[in-house]
Amino acid sequence: MLRLEKVNAFYGHIQALHEVSLEVAEGEIVCLIGANGAGKTTTLMSIMGVVSTPQGKILFEGEDITGRPTPSIVHKGISCVPEGRRIFPQLTVMENLDMGFYPRRDRPAEFEEDLERVFRLFPVLEERKDQLGGTLSGGQQQMLALARGLMARPKLLLLDEPSLGLAPLLVEQVMESIVEINKQGTTVLLVEQNALMALEISHRGYVLETGTITISGESGKLMADAQVRSSYLGT
């Protein structure tokens, strides 16, 4: 579904990604783990076309989307839940969801259907639909960010550190909803520092170190890998 072929990305003269190649097949949850500054977010931003034109090739459903403007990428079916949630604090929950639907505003008939779907996933959002986004708790904000991403009805959902800053119980809850979203037919590329959680819910994983993919494979095997265990799982 998504394939990165030898992608290089730069911030000014600094190279953040070195020939990153990875693949996400339809129906999978694939995780990308690594330490701070390894280039995880940069990888997502390159896919979304937010980072200025990366080198290499990014293919989505066989089509080259490298360096395309973000709205057209979202239109193709990739949606991103950015790091730190970044919901709109001064907008109500409903307005936040409206914003998620914005790229599909030419099909207003589908709005109710999608809204029902995200409210079934996150009932708390329905209870709080008239509340300002900024007044939600951290966990609720993360749910709102996920819901907002889903409103674009993506084929592929990119998640950037959804567990960041959440209490362990909430992390569990968010991860469960990611599995549920995946079961409903959305492919997921998950970027996480919480490597254990990410490996537990994903099918395959990639390890990114200072801009280079060093290890990849099935998540179960990665969890057993001695190097991954010592570097990322702390065992």
Partner 1 sequence: MNNSKLRNTCLVGIFVLLALAEPLITSRFYKFVLALAVINVIMVTGLHVIFGLTGQIFMGMAGFWGIGSYILALATTKMGLGFWPALLLSSLGVGFMGLVLGIPTLRLKGYYLSITTIGFGEITRFILMNWSAVTGGVFGVFNIPRPNFGSFVLTNDVHFYYFSLALAALLAVIASVLEDSKYGTAFKGVRDDELAADAIGIDSTGIKVMAFMTCGLFVGIGAGLYSSLLTYISPEVFTLEESFRFVTMVLVGGIGFLPGAVIGAVVLTFLPEMLRFLQAWYLAIYGLIVLGIVIYQPGGIAGALQGFLERRRLARGEEKQYGTA
**Which residues would be at the binding site for partner 1 (CB under 8 A)?**
48, 50, 69-71, 73-75, 79-80, 82, 86-92, 95, 98-100, 102-103, 105, 130-132, 134-135, 148-149, 152
In whole angstroms, the minimum distance from the beta carbon of 89 to partner 1 comes to 6
CB nearer to partner 1: pick between 72 and 230: 72
CB nearer to partner 1: pick between 16 and 74: 74
Angle at 180 between CA 2 and CA 168, to 5 degrees: 105
CB nearer to partner 1: pick between 73 and 208: 73
Phi, psi (rounded to 5 degrees) for 206: -125, 140
CB nearer to partner 1: pick between 99 and 233: 99
Does an H or E element contain 77, and which?
none
In whole angstroms, the minimum distance from the beta carbon of 136 to partner 1 comes to 9
Inter-residue contact 8 to 55 (CB < 8 Å): yes
61-68 long-range CB contacts below 8 Å, 24 or more apart? Answer: 61/1, 61/155
Distance CA 233, CA 209 (A): 15
In whole angstroms, the minimum distance from the beta carbon of 71 to partner 1 comes to 5
